[in-house]
Amino acid sequence: DQQVKQNSPSLSVQEGRISILNCDYTNSMFDYFLWYKKYPAEGPTFLISISSIKDKNEDGRFTVFLNKSAKHLSLHIVPSQPGDSAVYFCAASEGNNAGNMLTFGGGTRLMVKP
Partner 1 sequence: DADVTQTPRNRITKTGKRIMLECSQTKGHDRMYWYRQDPGLGLRLIYYSFDVKDINKGEISDGYSVSRQAQAKFSLSLESAIPNQTALYFCATSDWTGVLETQYFGPGTRLLVL
29 makes contact with partner 1 (CB under 8 A): no
How crowded is residue 86: how many other Cβ atoms within 10 Å of its Cβ? 21
77 makes contact with partner 1 (CB under 8 A): no
Which residue type occupies 53?
I
Which residue type occupies 100?
N
**CB-nearer residue toward partner 1: 82 or 95:** 95
Are 34 and 48 within 8 A, CB to CB?
Answer: yes
User: Counting Cβ atoms within 10 Å, is residue 109 exposed (0-12), middle (13-18) or buried (19+)?
Assistant: middle
35 makes contact with partner 1 (CB under 8 A): no
Are 39 and 82 within 8 A, CB to CB?
Answer: no
45 makes contact with partner 1 (CB under 8 A): yes
9 makes contact with partner 1 (CB under 8 A): yes
63 makes contact with partner 1 (CB under 8 A): no
Residue choice 13, 24, 30, 44 for contact with partner 1 (CB under 8 A): 44
Give the footprint of partner 1 on this chain (CB under 8 A): 2, 4, 6, 9, 32, 34, 36, 41-46, 49, 51, 89, 93, 95-96, 99-102, 104-107
